[in-house]
A = this chain, B = another copy of it.
């Protein structure tokens, strides 16, 4: 009853993130190599199918895909209204090329999934629509008619549909699922705004009040609704209230009640609803994802299982296990693999059962740092010198707490010097002193600590320091060389030097433990924030395309300060408006870069009076829609996400699985001392290396290889999500029922 081809597309395209899919496929390959007969074949493992699969998931084809998506998106820079104008045929040609690339990718995709699923996919429609639009537009342009490239708004959808960005899809699904709930609250909110507007019209409309511009105040119902809506965004507070307040302070009560209800209470309710829905649906998705994972692992187990003795349990032998893990993760060391095996095979039986095997995917997701207790190179090269009394004293000084404090003080003094005027030659030369001091610090640390440990992958601050100091050194030297040779100072290089100098100061934060904890949490949720960044870019791109069609050229910015048109942004309609007076002319939709910056400003404060003036009052709909979508929905989901991530950090202990791995590490006496690990979670390496690298501490009786779990850092975003909702998952649920009824859907690929 199963497909003969590699069946649910779900199992194919998530290799990058899922060790379990990879494990499943590798398991089958491994069995085939062993010459086993596949009794119940689930999918096609013919060389051709596997080659297709591997090619689809090859890093090069993914890089190419992302390149074409970026190319397609960046066409907006060259199309009218353009930053750098290119002829239409050139951009059209590039877009055709991109579409071709997407089509090839799609055909490739169609080869590996069932045909009926392929045709339901929305991305096919995107490509076809784009093609149709290009043909129409080309024809219109050829006949000199006015045409609109409306399919440009579809481009960012490719980012969601063509790529394997499961985080982005998930975020989109969360939003879609939360929409009905948000919609009801929004209706109630709008009802409240309408009622308040009606009250404002009745109370204030007949009093003959005037705004500062001398216009009648609160006489038009739709104007009032819009003004009060903008008041919710706090953009026009207190201006909108001043005429009424000047008439009588009693009217202030009206505005106070309005702000309390609509800005504070309703906006909190929006956050609550968005947060609640986000959590609910995410939980359901992660639950399904974990079920899918376990299901795949159970199937992999079914392929590898052996019966050691008659009537005994079905098990997987260590030899098979080893070969599979080596296939799946060729990057992990033998020692690490042995550690994983000893965790799985708790009772040292030489084989593991189903439950232990299913855990393997989770174990592979835990980031284990292998610490090699290497002696310092100098220690090996000339031990007499490196172990001499002055050298040992130096090591002790550098490792002392005071060394850190002294350098923190140097950084603070440096901050003061940066703040002072750099035209002063004394100050300018002091920069060399500071650079020398920082360089000395890095050299001293390299002398004391083992260099490979110092520059290990997780030593974020060491890398940060070194890169910043070296770059600053290079930039300063280049700058001085240019200055002394031609007397010419490059503004750009100076800017870079300044930025690097200031960035160096951030280092201070790392010395204070409380700060480090907060920053580590922020670094951990970084990847998730990037997902929201993509989401925002998708929405911004669509609105930028729309905005450019609607408002391009309406507001112009003049570089020349003497141009008389500058005072009214090149549009007579803007004469004497606040928009022109505040010099907002550069906030326009004249090209894609300006549009993005303007949309960001609108996210912060929704001010759009200028654009309604230059076009039509209905242009406000564009801005209100943008506000609803970005501020009420997306920003709230972002805040909800940050909240959730911080709660997880505050409340959830390490997961059980991780603890079992840690227990095993400790049991085998391979653990780095706990107290040293706790004070610095992500980047404890530096501290730990104190002991491991110097070669002076009594590590002689310790094993030369040690493990450490990057305890709060997960290899994948899914693992973090799984951890968030772990409490609700049953560890014994293998999702085996789903195997039979066939409607086993991995949420990753359900349509967006």
Interface residues of A, Cβ cutoff 8 Å to B: 184-185, 187-188, 191, 195, 198-199, 201-203, 212, 221, 234, 237-239, 241-243, 245-246, 249, 252, 256, 259, 263-265, 268-269, 271-273, 275-276, 415, 418-419, 422, 495, 498-499, 501-502, 505-506, 508-509, 514-515, 518-519, 522, 529, 557, 581-587, 593-594, 597, 600-601, 604-605, 607, 635, 638-639, 642-643, 646-647, 650
What are 19 sample pairs from A and B whose C-beta atoms fall under 8 A apart? A185-B518, A188-B519, A195-B502, A198-B505, A201-B419, A202-B495, A202-B498, A203-B498, A234-B234, A234-B605, A242-B583, A245-B597, A249-B593, A268-B639, A272-B643, A272-B646, A273-B646, A276-B647, A276-B650
Residues of B within 8 A of A238 (CB): 584, 587, 601, 604-605, 607
Which among A201, A268, A557 has the highest number of chain B CB atoms within 10 Å?
A268
CB-CB under 8 A from A586, the residues of chain B are 242, 245-246, 249
Nearest CB of chain B from residue A666's CB, rounded to whole Å: 30
Q: Are B237 and A604 in contact (CB-based, < 8 A)? A: yes
A499 touches B203 (CB 8 A): yes
Task: Give the residues in chain B near A212, CB-CB below 8 Å.
Answer: 581-583
Provide the residues of chain B in CB contact with A201, threshold 8 Å.
Answer: 419
Measured CB to CB, the closest approach of chain B to A610, in angstroms, equals 12
Name, among A259, A505, A604, the residue most crowded by chain B CB atoms within 10 Å (CB to CB). A604
Which of the residues B259, B583, B597, B646 comes within 8 Å of A604, measured between beta carbons?
Answer: B259
In the assembled complex, the Cα of A429 lies from the Cα of B241 at a distance in Å of: 32
By the criterion CB–CB under 8 Å, are A582 and B242 in contact?
yes
9 nearest CB pairs, A to B: A272-B646, A202-B498, A268-B642, A238-B601, A184-B514, A199-B502, A237-B604, A252-B597, A237-B605
Given contacts A188-B518, A245-B597, A583-B246, whether A604 and B234 have CB atoms under 8 Å apart is yes
User: Cβ of A501: which chain B residues have Cβ within 8 Å of it?
Assistant: 202
- Beyond A242-B583, A249-B594: 15 further Cβ-contacts under 8 Å? A187-B515, A195-B502, A195-B506, A198-B415, A202-B495, A234-B604, A242-B586, A243-B583, A246-B583, A263-B604, A265-B522, A268-B638, A268-B643, A269-B642, A276-B650
Q: Indicate if the CB atoms of A199 and B268 lie closer than 8 Å.
A: no
A272 to B649, CA, bound (A): 11
Cross-interface CB contact of A499 among B199, B246, B498, B601, cutoff 8 Å = B199
Chain B CB within 10 A, most for which of A263, A269, A273: A269
A interface: dominant SS:
helix
Q: For residue A252, which residue of chain B has the nearest CB?
A: B597
Q: Which residues of B contact A203 (CB under 8 A)?
A: 495, 498-499
Shortest Cβ gap from A530 to chain B (Å)? 12
Q: Are A505 and B259 in contact (CB under 8 A)?
A: no
Q: Is the CB of A638 within 8 A of B239?
A: no
Q: Which residues of B contact A639 (CB under 8 A)?
A: 264, 268, 271
Closest to A200 in B: B502
Is B502 in contact with A202, judged by CB distance below 8 angstroms?
Answer: yes
> Chain B: which residue is nearest A238 at the CB level?
B601
B502 touches A272 (CB 8 A): no
Bound: A195/B505 CA distance, A: 8
Residues in B neighbouring A607, C-beta threshold 8 A: 238
**Cross-chain contact B256 with A597 (CB below 8 angstroms):** yes
Query: What is the bound-complex CA distance between A185 and B515, given in angstroms?
Result: 7
**How far does the alpha carbon of A406 sit from the alpha carbon of B587 in the complex, in Å?**
49
Q: Which residues of B contact A519 (CB under 8 A)?
A: 188
A271 in complex: contacting residue of B273, B585, B643, CB < 8 Å: B643
Shortest distance from the beta carbon of A651 to any chain B beta carbon, whole Å:
8
Chain B residues near A594: list those with CB within 8 A.
249
Are A509 and B188 touching (Cβ within 8 A)? Answer: yes
A643: B residues at CB distance < 8 A: 268, 271-272, 275
Residues of B within 8 A of A198 (CB): 415, 418-419, 502, 505
Chain B contacts for A498, CB-based, 8 A = 199, 202-203
The CB with the most chain B CB atoms within 10 A, among A238, A241, A495, A509, is that of A238
Question: How far is B260's CA from A597's CA once the two chains are assembled, in angstroms?
Answer: 13
A191's closest neighbor in chain B, by CB? B509
A221 to nearest B CB, angstroms?
Answer: 6
Least Cβ–Cβ distance between A635 and chain B, in angstroms: 7
Q: How far is the CA of A557 from the CA of B247 in the complex (A)?
A: 11
CB nearest neighbor in B for A587: B238
Within the complex, the shortest CB–CB distance from A505 to chain B, in Å, comes to 6
Distance of A418 Cα from B642 Cα, bound (Å)? 45
Q: Measured between C-beta atoms, what is the minimum distance from A465 to chain B in Å?
A: 16
**Interchain CB contact under 8 A, B518 and A269:** yes
A237 pairs with B601, CB closer than 8 A: yes
Which residue in chain B gives the minimum CB-CB distance to A210?
B561
Smallest CB gap from A254: residue in B: B499
CB of A451 to closest CB in B, whole Å: 30
Bound together, the chains give a CA A646 to CA B594 distance in angstroms of 40
Known contacts A272-B646, A518-B188, A643-B271; is A529 also within 8 Å of B600 by CB?
no
A268: B residues at CB distance < 8 A: 638-639, 642-643
A707 CB, nearest partner CB in chain B, Å = 32
Residues of B within 8 A of A242 (CB): 582-584, 586-587
CA–CA, A201 and B420, complex, Å: 10
Q: Collect the chain B residues with CB atoms within 8 Å of residue A605's CB.
A: 234, 237-238
What residue of chain B has the Cβ atom nearest to residue A272's Cβ? B646
